[in-house]
Structure formats: C-alpha cells, structure tokens
Chain A
Amino acid sequence: MVQTSADQDRINLRARKFLMWLFIISSFMLFAGLTSGFIVYTAGSVERGLKILLPQAFMYSTAVIIISSVTMHLAYLSGKRLQFNKQKLYLTLTILLGILFFIIQLSTWRWFIAHGVYFVNYNASQSFLYIFTGAHLLHVFAGLIMLIYALLGLRKNIPQVRNLFRLEVTSIFWHFIDILWIYLYVFLLLNQ
C-alpha cells in the first residue's frame, strides 16, 4: 500500500490541502479555548488581569511576521509562474524572517522576567502571556519546518504539481500563523 502512495498523492492533493484547512480550524479552537480561559479566569476577581503594558518588541515582531507573510505570498506567486530562483529567494527570506520573529518573541520573555512578570505567578493572567506566546511559537516552529520542507523540494527538483502543493499548504499555514499572532496581539492589547 505504501507503494501506491505516490499515485494516490496525485489524486488526493485537493482532499489533502483541505486537511490543512481543517487543521487550522482545530488549531484555532485551541487558541479560542486558551483565550476564553483567560477571559473566564480574569473575570473572576479584580486582582487578576495583565496589569502591565505590553513591550515594544511585540510591535517589531508583528511587523516582522506581516512582512514574512508578504514574502511567503511572493514565493507562492513565483512558484506558480515557474520562476524557481525567485521562489527559492523568497522562501529563504520567509524562513529568516520567521527565525527573527522567533528570537524577538523569546526576547520578550526576558523583558517580562526583567519586569517581574513571571510564569510562576499568583496572578495567572500573567502566566497566560507565556502560554499564548509559547503555543504560538510552537506553531511558528512547525511552520518553519514546512518552509524548509518546501525549500528542500525545490532543491530535489520535485514535479511542479508537488512543488505547488507544498507551497500552497505552507503558505496557507504561514498566513494562518500570521493572522493568529495578530489575533493574540490585539486580544492582549485589549486586555492590558
């Protein structure tokens, strides 16, 4: 059965791309659960709540991830137009921006600690900051692996159908990560 998977892939690409959309829905539910948990928890008492202003660094990381979404889209367009060198360039750029985002997010944790906002905290609203950013970073990590996978496919010169499939799935996921971060950021801004 493993042997036919290559053939099956070809027909199932549409159904498999749909799997990514469904995964995004389930992933969104995870964050919906976490943010609702935050609301329920914070509403429980006046002593709870973020009680800090969010660091500047979040502005930078937001800008970085939005730009990376643009480069992702450019990579997709170049892949579609068979401009593989451009595709390679934009994919690499996206990966670099993704890594930069990762680093900025981690630096905000240091900022939090410096400002006395610890993970182990009697005010769990502040612990939630780490949960939100951490869970999002896990998604970014998965997205980076997908980007690298798409780049490797280009190296190995896989058929254009497969290349485009990888690109599409990766870009769907990457844009989702972008939107997800904006959602989390706005959510936190409204609650600070």
Chain B
Amino acid sequence: MAAGGARLMTGRNMTLHPDLSSLEPIGMGGFNAYVGPLLRDPAKQPGEEKRFAFLPEAKHLNGGGNLHGGLLMTLADNVLGLTVHEQTEGRIASTVTLNTDFLAGGVAGEPVWGRAAITRRTRSLIFVAGDLSQGGKLLLTATGIWKIIGA
C-alpha cells in the first residue's frame, strides 16, 4: 500500500490524480492487473458515494473510443465482490450472477467511481447492488448474487 495516497501508472510516468489523493490502492494480481489499481477510500462505509475509484487509460477503451463494457463489468465485479467479502468473516464467496446495465459511455483519463451495498444476506448467499459513475454521470448499475463457498 503506497504511502501518501494513490500513485497511478500512466505510461512510464507516475502521476497523481488530484481527486484520488486520499484513496489507497488494493493490491490484486492475475487478471486484475489489467483493470487496476482499484482504489478504496478508507474513511468511507459500504454504500457511500466515491468509496472505490479507478483511473482508466487508453488501453481500457473499446473500438468506439468509449470505456470497454468488459472493463466496466470487471470493475463492477470487483467493487461488488470486495463489498461482499467484508461480510464473509474471511470465507471466500464467488459470483453466481451479475446483471449489468450500461447507462452511458465512459472516457479515459477521468476517474470512474464505484460503490456497493449488501441488500440481503442468507446463510449461503449474499445479494449486492452497486453502480459506477464518472463526472457525476451514472455509467453502469449492477446487481449480483454471491455464494459463500462451503456454506
């Protein structure tokens, strides 16, 4: 976890986006290396606006010059999944279903903000809803169900 806020890779230069200075990067490997770093504001609670953030670059676009739907769905999976795992007492939960609606196109270079909240918890399932926005505009809304493995 970087000291002094979030340092983001932009090409070969490390730059600090002013809106993201109070957030901390969440270290994740594998496929998340393509969609990271994802940042979290440690002062905010689940459901609060601008709790998660990601600064997209040109490599995250689609052929039309908008943020790729796969990138936004991956961010939603991570924002909702991280929120779910705050409720599992260390147990792993996996996505059973994720429904995503694309409300508007997003651009590179401006932070995408994310938030999620649990809507229902059963013994083995966690229902969660969240959204992604950019510049005050909703890009994506999502609902999902996670299964607690072994429960």
A-B complex is real: no
Contacts from A to B (Cβ < 8 Å): none
